[in-house]
């Protein structure tokens, strides 16, 4: 699909985030990770995964305080 932002399947996104697939679906349903359904399949923008990783790293850095 030309002209669309790069997207990942749920499995690919879960691998990049280092979480289980069911945890990824929980994030999607809770609105904590952006994703869209296309033809009945979830597609997650790479940018959403990148932002989630950045947010997690930021919170990890302050967890010991």
Give a three-class secondary structure readout of the chain.
Answer: CCCCCCEECHHHHHHHHCCCHHHHHHHHHHCCCCCEEECCEEEEEHHHHHHHHHHHHHHHHHCCC
CA distances from 59 to 1, 2, 62 (A): 35, 35, 5
Domain 7-62 has CATH 3.40.50.300: no
Question: What pTM does this model have?
Answer: 0.80
Note the pLDDT of residue 3: 45
The pLDDT tens digits along the chain (65 residues) read 444 579 999 999 999 999 999 999 999 999 999 999 999 999 999 999 999 999 888 888 755 54
Give the residue extent of every domain in the chain. 7-62
Note the pLDDT of residue 60: 80
């Amino acid at each position: 699909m030309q002209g669309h932002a790069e997207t990942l399947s749920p499995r690919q996104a879960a691998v990049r985030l280092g979480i289980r697939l069911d945890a990824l679906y929980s994030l999607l349903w809770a609105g904590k990770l952006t994703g869209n359904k296309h033809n009945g399949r979830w597609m997650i923008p790479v940018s959403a995964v990148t932002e989630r990783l950045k947010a997690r790293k930021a919170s990890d850095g302050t967890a010991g305080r």
